[in-house]
Chains A and B, each alone.
Chain A
Amino acid sequence: MAQVRLENLWKVFNGKVEAVKGVTMTIPDKTVVCLLGPSGCGKTTVMRMIAGLETPTRGSVYFDDRDVTHLKPSERNVAMVFQFPAVYPHLNVLQNISFPLIAEGLSKAEVEQRVQEVALVLGLTDVLKEMPKALDTGSRQRVAIGRAIVRRPRVFIFDEPLSNIDPNVRVEMKSIIKQLSRDLGQTFIYVTHDQSEAMTLADQIAVMKDGELLQFDSPEEVYERPANTFVGWFLGNPGMNYVGAQVRDGGAGKIELFSDTFSLKVDAGKVAAGTAALSGRKVRIGIRPEHIRISREEQGGNWIKGQCALTEPMGAREIVHVRINGDQIRIKTLPTDVIREGDEVWVYFPEDHIRLFDADTGVRIGN
């Protein structure tokens, strides 16, 4: 049970490889936080610095108000679950889970009681006498989790615990971890490159790229209001679409987003405050595939004309690729729509879902 605070954390390897570049964030107590990002984004290094497996080049790590930057992992009271289930092959499930407690010198009765509790939560009660060899990877990972939680540490760290688990078992593991995070009410730090694990498990998501923390927010916010174009693209399936445009005053509380081939008048208050400042700027209109409406009939108003480049059936839905003025966007529709490649189509971006990003920096402007 601890709040974890990172202050301007840097990690430079070999004096030149900047793996983490000034990460500052506060992970509230009893929260599940996912560090999410593509491989090489620095999420694992941040996690290792929290665990004490790596010493920061600069900056500090606090657990509550205690500076733990230079403490060894064993002195921090953190528990880790790794990608590969780390279980002792020569011990059975019961011995594996009780191992850290015996090392701590707890009484037999207490060990017994705690192990039984943990086994119950993880559904391991029936296999306590089995050797790890006899278990599948999913169950072995549960044993590893059991060994981690039985110690009642201050912070739990999960390092991509599901990457080597059979996809069929993954759902079960996800629901176990979700359940655990509710029941234990502990601080969970969960490292993953998989957006679905982050979206499903996290209370807060920290999106990282190239050693920098791009956004730290609730899953809804990260998804609906990405801090920049990368976050918008990285989350979502497919990610956010972007269409280049310029801004000018549309009069009557509206702003106009225009290019050579289209012009959208949208409510300034809904899309971006401070209309005057935006005028003349080059932006990218960001909108999620599931929010776009599409039609084969010619439409007036704010509908934009485009051409269908490709259709991808997905079973439950369909993804239609549409070319608009040099940009290609993807639209998620129901498979009943009859749109063919090469068709002229009209698309509509609902005001509530339009986000604007700076054309050069990719940073979100306004709402």
Chain B
Amino acid sequence: MSAIHLEHISKKFGRKTALGDITVDIPETTFTTVLGPPGAGKTTLLRILAGLERADSGKIIMNGVDVSQRLPGERGVSFVAQDFALYPHMNVFRNISYPLRLRKTSRDEIKRKVTETARFLKIDKLLDREPTQLSGGEQQRVAIARGLVKDARLYLFDEPLTNLDYKIREDMRAEFRKIQHETGQTIVYATSDSIEAISMSEYLIVMNEGQIVEVGKTTEVYAAPKSLFTATYFGYPPMNTLPAKLGESEGGFTIDAGIFSVNIKGEKPRFKCSKPVAAVRPERLVLADRKPDTDAAFSAKIVLSDVIGSDTIVYLKPENHPETVKAFVPSTYRALPGHRVWVGLASRDLFIYDADSGLLAWKGEDVGSGQA
């Protein structure tokens, strides 16, 4: 059953459209991520769900009841924003307990719940501190605790980790996942970070320019994005895309992406594909010193090998080609700019999108490995 049902929600700020006619279901007891670049409308969507913003049109149905006209306090919704505003005149305990005090909860109950939530977020030793005495990470934990302490039907988080150090993010990602697993709450989490989306959520809503681009189980969306936008946005790093030509061949068809071409057995993409784009995940590219024995291979110069902690994103410039190709290596891969390498890929890892409609036309895994 769907906990929250959004029908034709739209919102304009002046002339700028923040949300254009959005209809979507958010599943119950699930961690849902709303993923999109800044300005996609994620924050507006969450604020409308929380009741902090009123939609120009449309309905929000929660558990069968239309709550569109209700005030935030009447919706049973909790909201934690990116700029976590801790009340400066209250200490940590009073900050966390504020939502409970508003509901006239008994003193014992408040104490029990605050302590429990604080212990869970590892801030139980900070309860007597003033907000100004806390580090950024601790402040954010307090804000999250304040969001979690009350019983809500829906918990909303708007990019809560954006302003934090990456080391804290690393811990908090795991914590968020744990929170949902242990409490089974309905959580909607907005982010522009693909890693957060993939590591925490079961369900994914991809947004761009005020529209919903794609909806589905996170793992399924990752495995085969149905839209070109998702392909070029969702991933760490997102997919490589290259303009391609599709041609006929005996018992199949060819994909010519300029720097490589492959022969595929089977039917050519059925629907009209006027501007085909070939796409492949960076982690599916194989780097080698000698030409690898893969379905397709090309040679390229290293532009930069960007060591991200224990992984490396290698930026490559194929010969006689303007585009940069990214490869993801799950270890520290040091190579000097200008170094020449071979890049190999398998045709089952290829996707074809239509640039005009922005939709997936064909994916290699349907066919299996073809011939080089």
Identify the A interface with B (CB < 8 A): 38-39, 171, 174-175, 178-179, 182, 193-196, 199-200, 219-220, 223, 233-239, 288-290, 310, 312-317, 319, 321, 332, 334, 341
Min CB distance, A335 to chain B, in Å?
9
Q: Are B165 and A200 in contact (CB under 8 A)?
A: no
Q: Is B151 an interface residue (CB 8 A)?
A: no
Q: Are B194 and A238 in contact (CB under 8 A)?
A: no
Q: Are A315 and B177 in contact (CB under 8 A)?
A: no
A239: B residues at CB distance < 8 A: 167, 170
| 8 CB < 8 A contacts A-B | A171-B304, A174-B306, A219-B332, A220-B332, A223-B332, A288-B310, A312-B200, A313-B219
A39: B residues at CB distance < 8 A: 165
B281: A residues at CB distance < 8 A: 315-316
Q: Are B328 and A312 in contact (CB under 8 A)?
A: no
Q: Are A237 and B170 in contact (CB under 8 A)?
A: yes
Partner among A196, A220, A290 whose Cβ is within 8 Å of the Cβ of B308: A196
Interface contacts beyond A175-B337, A199-B307: sample of 14 additional A-B pairs, CB < 8 Å, sorted by A: A178-B304, A196-B306, A199-B332, A200-B307, A238-B310, A288-B310, A289-B310, A290-B330, A310-B174, A310-B178, A313-B218, A315-B235, A316-B236, A316-B282
Complex-state Cα separation, A290 to B331, whole angstroms: 8
Min CB distance, A139 to chain B, in Å?
18
Q: Are B306 and A314 in contact (CB under 8 A)?
A: no
* Binary contact track B306-317/A, C-beta < 8 Å → 1, others 0: 111111010100
Q: Are B315 and A312 in contact (CB under 8 A)?
A: no
Partner among A38, A196, A220, A334 whose Cβ is within 8 Å of the Cβ of B309: A196
Q: Are A237 and B303 in contact (CB under 8 A)?
A: no
B94: A residues at CB distance < 8 A: none
Q: Are A314 and B198 in contact (CB under 8 A)?
A: yes
Complex-state Cα separation, A234 to B334, whole angstroms: 19
Q: Are B332 and A314 in contact (CB under 8 A)?
A: no
Q: Are B311 and A237 in contact (CB under 8 A)?
A: yes
Q: Are B308 and A237 in contact (CB under 8 A)?
A: yes
Q: Is B43 an interface residue (CB 8 A)?
A: no
Complex-state Cα separation, A319 to B199, whole angstroms: 9
B195: A residues at CB distance < 8 A: 314-315
Min CB distance, A214 to chain B, in Å?
15
Q: Are A316 and B328 in contact (CB under 8 A)?
A: yes
**Given A223-B332, A310-B178 in contact, is the A200-B305 Cβ separation under 8 Å?**
yes
Considering only residues 150-209 of chain B, those with a C-beta below 8 Å from chain A are 165-167, 170, 173-174, 177-178, 181, 194-195, 198-200
CB nearest neighbor in B for A237: B309
Considering only residues 225-252 of chain B, those with a C-beta below 8 Å from chain A are 235-236
CB nearest neighbor in A for B235: A315
A316: B residues at CB distance < 8 A: 236, 281-283, 311, 328, 330
Q: Is B222 an interface residue (CB 8 A)?
A: yes
Most buried by B among A199, A316, A321: A316
**Given A174-B304, A310-B177 in contact, is the A315-B165 Cβ separation under 8 Å?**
no
Min CB distance, B316 to chain A, in Å?
12
Complex-state Cα separation, A230 to B200, whole angstroms: 26
**Given A313-B219, A314-B236, A332-B330 in contact, is the A234-B167 Cβ separation under 8 Å?**
yes
Partner among B177, B194, B235, B304 whose Cβ is within 8 Å of the Cβ of A312: B177
A332: B residues at CB distance < 8 A: 310, 330
What number of A-B contacts does a CB cutoff of 8 Å give? 104
A289: B residues at CB distance < 8 A: 310
CB nearest neighbor in A for B136: A39
A334: B residues at CB distance < 8 A: 330
B306: A residues at CB distance < 8 A: 171, 174, 196, 200
Considering only residues 51-94 of chain B, those with a C-beta below 8 Å from chain A are none
Considering only residues 269-328 of chain B, those with a C-beta below 8 Å from chain A are 281-283, 303-311, 313, 315, 328
Min CB distance, B343 to chain A, in Å?
16
* Binary contact track B351-372/A, C-beta < 8 Å → 1, others 0: 0000000000000000000000
**Given A194-B166, A290-B310, A341-B181 in contact, is the A312-B331 Cβ separation under 8 Å?**
no
Min CB distance, A121 to chain B, in Å?
13
Complex-state Cα separation, A315 to B334, whole angstroms: 22
Partner among B167, B170, B174, B222 whose Cβ is within 8 Å of the Cβ of A315: B222
Complex-state Cα separation, A193 to B167, whole angstroms: 10
A236: B residues at CB distance < 8 A: 309-310
Most buried by B among A312, A315, A334: A315
Q: Are B283 and A175 in contact (CB under 8 A)?
A: no
A179: B residues at CB distance < 8 A: 337
Complex-state Cα separation, A220 to B307, whole angstroms: 11
Q: Are A314 and B199 in contact (CB under 8 A)?
A: yes
CB nearest neighbor in A for B313: A171
Min CB distance, A239 to chain B, in Å?
7
CB nearest neighbor in B for A289: B310
A171: B residues at CB distance < 8 A: 304, 306, 313, 315
A321: B residues at CB distance < 8 A: 174
B330: A residues at CB distance < 8 A: 290, 316-317, 332, 334
Q: Are B199 and A313 in contact (CB under 8 A)?
A: yes
Q: Are A315 and B308 in contact (CB under 8 A)?
A: no
CB nearest neighbor in B for A311: B177
Complex-state Cα separation, A39 to B174, whole angstroms: 23
Min CB distance, B304 to chain A, in Å?
4
Q: Are B315 and A175 in contact (CB under 8 A)?
A: yes
B309: A residues at CB distance < 8 A: 195-196, 199, 235-238
CB nearest neighbor in A for B311: A237
Complex-state Cα separation, A56 to B194, whole angstroms: 44
Q: Are B165 and A38 in contact (CB under 8 A)?
A: yes
Complex-state Cα separation, A246 to B331, whole angstroms: 30
Task: Report the 6 A-B pairs with minimum CB-CB distance, sorted nearest first.
Answer: A237-B309, A316-B283, A199-B307, A175-B304, A196-B308, A312-B199
Min CB distance, A208 to chain B, in Å?
15
Q: Are A315 and B236 in contact (CB under 8 A)?
A: yes
B173: A residues at CB distance < 8 A: 312
Partner among B165, B178, B200, B331 whose Cβ is within 8 Å of the Cβ of A193: B165
CB nearest neighbor in B for A235: B309
Most buried by A among B170, B235, B309: B309
Complex-state Cα separation, A235 to B170, whole angstroms: 12
B332: A residues at CB distance < 8 A: 199, 219-220, 223
**Given A312-B199, A332-B330 in contact, is the A175-B303 Cβ separation under 8 Å?**
yes
CB nearest neighbor in A for B282: A316
CB nearest neighbor in B for A39: B165
CB nearest neighbor in A for B326: A171
